[in-house]
Every structure is written in structure tokens, then in C-alpha cells.
């Protein structure tokens, strides 16, 4: 979808028009006669978030009702969801262009609606002989936005688009080597420093977790480090973003049963998310020093695959008893976290991973299961930003008693505990490698990939978490001022 800025007068615009109606201030500019206004107000009274369509043949006027007096995060989320409904209406009518305007609305509300349109218009078309219908162009009333403001939003949404493309691609077309190469090319274009470690270098680093998981695969692993270091950064020490890059997860020798292996191409969503956040920050020149650390491999049961009862020695020397080869994500993340702590001394470390089914069972597909250690201020800001952009996080307890559940009789720790509190013990496993570094763990298993339509997300990859972390980076200076 291509967005442009134009002066839009609803009564004169030659095309489909979306009119955002937040309160009765807008009445004077509604291009409606008295009978139509009466009908609109009746519908609005019945449902304050209704969408009322008026024929203006050969076009339509879509009046999108919302309550501008409600909490901003709530009303803006309603606008995103309304945008999805309008996009569906436009496609049903085989319309490919539209103008967007309103009265009595603020720029943030207009952007939220545009965001909903952009997110809902996405579909994964790469393998289809005939591409589904899409909205080709949307003209936005220039009253609400400058070109620079529009461009910044478009760059962020483009990163979400590419994250979704990467996660939707099957491993046959995007393995670790190919993904690393693609990230390297993008980094070069953005003048982001990119270091790609091949298998020999990973062996030299003694990353036992990444190498162990990779033992069953014909494809080599990769470890990618991206660094964005602007001259005006508010932080001298970087914020480290660690993302799980399991390109495909069979479960290894503890192979996944039945349909649990379906959609496992999405197990690299954490790496795709963190790369996308860093690239968006670089493109929009956010003043935050970031480093993204992305361990990549698939998890297969072939060759000399690692097995339950194996003991792996991690990058920092910690020994790990393998209890279940399907708890592989935390093993590759642990190496990356330990590497980040040892080589970058970050002031904050955040990981994102499609890590546990326990997180999905706990909160469903409505948010991110999150934990933190020594990171009260940034975590509080992250929760605020999550509510604001409606990519919400649910904080799980991180009590010391949970450490007991991953103690091993034969090694320093084991890679998973009992069935109860599975999401928390996975976070506890990773927190050990963060040591004293302020640490936030984001389990995105429930939201990275949807098996069916969820609001403005089509089935497939969502890019969920990018808007959250980007908004956090936009306001990151606030955590500095509060420390």
C-alpha cells in the first residue's frame, strides 16, 4: 500500500473517502444531508465504534465512528481494528484506492488507523500464481501529517512487512546461511555494522549451545551481530537485543508429535523481530546505541544429533544437561546472551523468542509473557509502551525458588524443568547467563505467528513486538532520567 499526502475535502474528493468521526465537533464538515446525519447518529448511539457506509456512486463514503474521549490507547486500538474492517470492505468492492480524512481527530489517531490498514492489507503472496487483491494507494489529508512524519511511519511499517516475509518463508528457502546473508546486505545499505560468524568461528568461540543444536542439521549455523551506534546516542553502553533464530524446529530427537511441527518455520521470529527493530531505529536515526545478537540454526534429528542426557559447555563455561532436545531455543540464546555480556557490557539486555508453549497456555494469543531481572525502570517503561501501542506484556514472577527447578545432578543446570511454570523456568535459565546485567525476557510464542485471522493480523507471521520495542527505543531516554 502506498500512502501519499493530499489536501482532502470530503465534499469534493473524487474517490472513496474514509472519514474518522471521533466526536460531534466533526458534524460541521460531514458531507451528509440531514437525513444521513440522523442515520449516522442513530448508528453511533447504538455502537460508538460502528462503520457507516454511504453511497456516492461510483464511490463510497466510510464514516468510521470512535470515541475520542476514551483512553488514547483504547481508542487508537479500536481505530486499527476498524481499519481492518474498512480494508475488507474495500476489497469486497474491488476498490484499490481511498482518501482518509476526518475532523476533531489528532494525528496519533490518524496514524493508528493508517497502521491498521497497513498491517491488515498484508498477505504472504510469494508462492501464489495469482496475487490476492490489495489496496494500492491511500491519500491522507495533509492537515494531520508532515511528509517527514509519514516517512518515519512508513519506514517502521516496511520493517514489519519484511519481518513477516522472513518468518513466513519456509526453511527450504531461508536457512541460517541465507538469512545471515540477507541481513548483511540490508546492514550494508543502512550503514549498520554487521559481523557474520560462520561455523568455524562459532567453534572457535566454543558456543556449545548453538553447536549442539546444529549437530543434527546438514545446514551450518550462523551467529550474526548487528550494531547501530549513532553519534548522538543517549547511552554509552549499548542496549543488547538477542533474538532466537531457530530456522526450523522439528524438536530434534525429542521429535514433535502430530501437528506440533506445523508452523515451526516461525521459530526464528525472535531473530527477525530484533533485526527489524534495529534496522527501523537506524533508518529513523533514533539516538539509541543498539546491538542485536542473532544465533541461527535449525533443529533436526539427523546425523550425530544431540540427545537427551548430553552435557553441553556453553560460551561462558557453564555446563548444561540436556533433558529435552525440544528445549533448544534457550540453548542458542544462552550463548548469545553470554557473548553480549562478555563483549559489549550492555546496560540493558532484552531477548525475544518463540520459546514455550507454556506462555501460550498461560495468556493465550493476546500478549507477550515477560520477565525481568534487575530492570525495574526499563521494564515499567516497556509495559507503558506496550499498553500504548497495544502490543501488551504480562509480567510473570521471577522468584528465586524457580531456580531450584533447573538444577542438575550432573551439570551446573539443566535445559528445562518440570511441566509447571515452564515459561518462567525457561526465563530463569536465560537469566543465569545475563548475570548482573539488567535483563528482560520476552516470550513471543503466542503472538509471533497466528494460525487464523486475529484482528488486523492475517494468518501467518505478525511482526508482533516490533512496534512495542521501537516505541520503547523512542522513549528510552526516560529510563536514563529516572535512574
CATH class of 2-145: alpha beta
Predicted local confidence at residue 19, as pLDDT: 96
Where in the chain is CATH 3.40.630.10?
Answer: 155-481
Predicted local confidence at residue 481, as pLDDT: 56
Report pLDDT digits (tens) over 424-448: 999 999 999 999 999 999 999 999 9
Residue 483 has pLDDT above 70, yes or no: no
Average pLDDT over residues 106-115: 97
Residue 121 has pLDDT above 60, yes or no: yes
Where in the chain is CATH 3.40.220.10?
Answer: 2-145
Predicted local confidence at residue 462, as pLDDT: 98
Predicted local confidence at residue 301, as pLDDT: 97
Fold category of 155-481 in CATH = Aminopeptidase (3.40.630)
Name the most confidently modeled range: 39-43, 99-103, 327-331: 327-331
Residue 233 has pLDDT above 70, yes or no: yes
Catalytic residues: 256, 330
Banded model confidence at residue 193, pLDDT cuts 50, 70, 90:
very high
Q: Which of 11-25, 290-304, 381-395, 407-421 is least confident?
A: 11-25
Residue 185 has pLDDT above 70, yes or no: yes
Residue 482 has pLDDT above 70, yes or no: no
Average pLDDT over residues 26-41: 87
Average pLDDT over residues 162-168: 98
Predicted local confidence at residue 354, as pLDDT: 98
Of 358, 375, 413, nearest in space to 208 by CA: 413
Determine what percent of the chain is predicted with pLDDT higher than 90.
92
Predicted local confidence at residue 104, as pLDDT: 82
Average pLDDT over residues 98-115: 95
Report pLDDT digits (tens) over 371-395: 999 999 999 999 999 999 999 999 9
Amino acid at each position: 500500500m502506498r500512502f501519499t499526502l493530499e489536501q482532502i475535502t470530503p465534499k469534493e474528493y473524487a474517490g472513496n473517502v474514509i472519514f474518522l468521526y471521533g466526536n460531534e465537533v466533526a458534524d460541521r464538515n460531514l458531507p451528509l444531508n440531514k437525513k444521513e446525519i440522523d442515520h449516522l447518529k442513530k448508528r453511533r448511539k447504538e455502537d460508538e465504534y460502528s462503520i457507516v457506509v454511504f453511497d456516492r456512486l461510483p464511490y463510497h463514503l466510510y464514516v468510521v465512528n470512535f470515541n475520542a474521549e476514551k483512553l488514547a490507547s483504547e481508542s487508537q486500538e479500536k481505530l486499527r481494528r476498524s481499519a481492518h474492517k474498512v480494508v475488507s470492505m474495500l476489497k469486497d468492492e474491488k476498490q484499490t484506492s481511498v482518501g482518509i480524512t476526518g475532523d476533531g481527530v489528532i494525528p496519533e489517531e490518524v496514524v493508528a488507523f493508517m497502521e491498521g490498514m497497513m498491517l491488515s492489507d498484508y498477505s504472504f503472496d510469494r508462492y501464489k500464481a495469482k496475487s490476492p487483491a490489495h489496496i494500492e494507494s491511500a491519500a491522507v489529508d495533509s492537515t494531520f501529517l508532515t511528509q517527514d512524519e509519514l516517512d518515519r511511519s512508513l519506514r517502521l511499517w516496511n520493517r514489519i512487512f519484511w519481518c513477516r516475509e522472513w518468518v513466513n518463508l519456509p526453511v527450504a528457502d531461508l536457512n541460517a546461511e541465507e538469512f545471515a546473508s540477507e541481513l548483511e546486505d540490508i546492514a550494508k545499505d543502512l550503514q549498520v555494522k554487521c559481523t557474520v560468524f560462520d561455523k568455524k568461528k562459532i567453534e572457535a568461540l566454543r558456543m556449545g549451545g548453538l553447536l549442539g543444536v546444529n549437530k543434527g542439521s546438514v545446514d551450518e549455523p550462523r551467529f550474526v551481530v548487528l550494531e547501530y551506534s549513532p553519534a548522538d546516542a543517549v547511552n554509552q553502553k549499548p542496549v543488547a537485543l538477542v533474538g532466537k533464530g531457530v530456522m526450523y524446529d522439528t524438536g530434534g530427537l525429542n521429535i514433535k508429535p502430530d501437528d506440533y511441527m506445523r508452523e515451526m518455520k516461525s521459530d526464528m521470529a525472535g531473530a527477525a523481530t530484533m533485526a527489524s527493530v534495529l534496522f527501523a531505529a537506524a533508518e529513523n536515526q533514533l539516538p539509541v546505541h543498539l546491538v542485536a545478537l542473532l544465533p541461527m540454526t535449525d533443529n533436526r534429528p539427523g546425523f550425530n544429533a544431540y540427545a537427551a542426557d548430553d552435557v553441553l559447555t556453553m560460551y561462558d563455561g557453564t555446563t548444561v544437561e540436556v533433558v529435552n532436545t525440544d528445549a533448544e531455543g534457550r540453548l542458542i540464546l544462552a550463548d548469545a546472551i553470554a557473548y553480549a555480556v562478555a563483549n559489549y557490557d550492555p546496560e540493558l539486555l532484552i531477548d525475544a523468542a518463540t520459546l514455550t508453549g507454556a506462555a501460550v497456555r498461560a495468556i493465550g494469543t493476546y500478549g507477550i509473557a515477560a520477565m525481568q531481572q534487575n530492570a525495574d525502570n526499563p521494564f515499567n517503561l516497556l509495559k507503558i509502551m506496550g499498553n500504548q501501542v497495544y502490543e501488551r506484556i504480562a509480567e510473570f514472577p521471577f522468584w528465586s525458588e524457580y531456580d531450584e527447578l533447573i538444577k542438575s545432578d550432573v551439570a551446573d543446570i539443566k535445559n528445562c524443568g518440570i511441566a509447571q511454570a515452564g515459561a518462567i523456568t525457561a526465563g530463569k535459565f536465560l537469566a543465569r547467563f545475563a548475570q548482573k546485567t539488567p535483563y528482560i525476557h520476552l516470550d513471543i510464542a503466542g503472538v509471533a505467528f497466528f494460525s487464523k485471522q486475529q484482528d488486523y493480523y492475517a494468518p501467518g507471521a505478525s511482526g508482533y513486538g516490533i512496534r512495542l520495542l521501537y516505541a520503547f527505543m523512542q522513549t528510552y531516554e526516560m529510563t536514563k532520567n529516572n535512574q
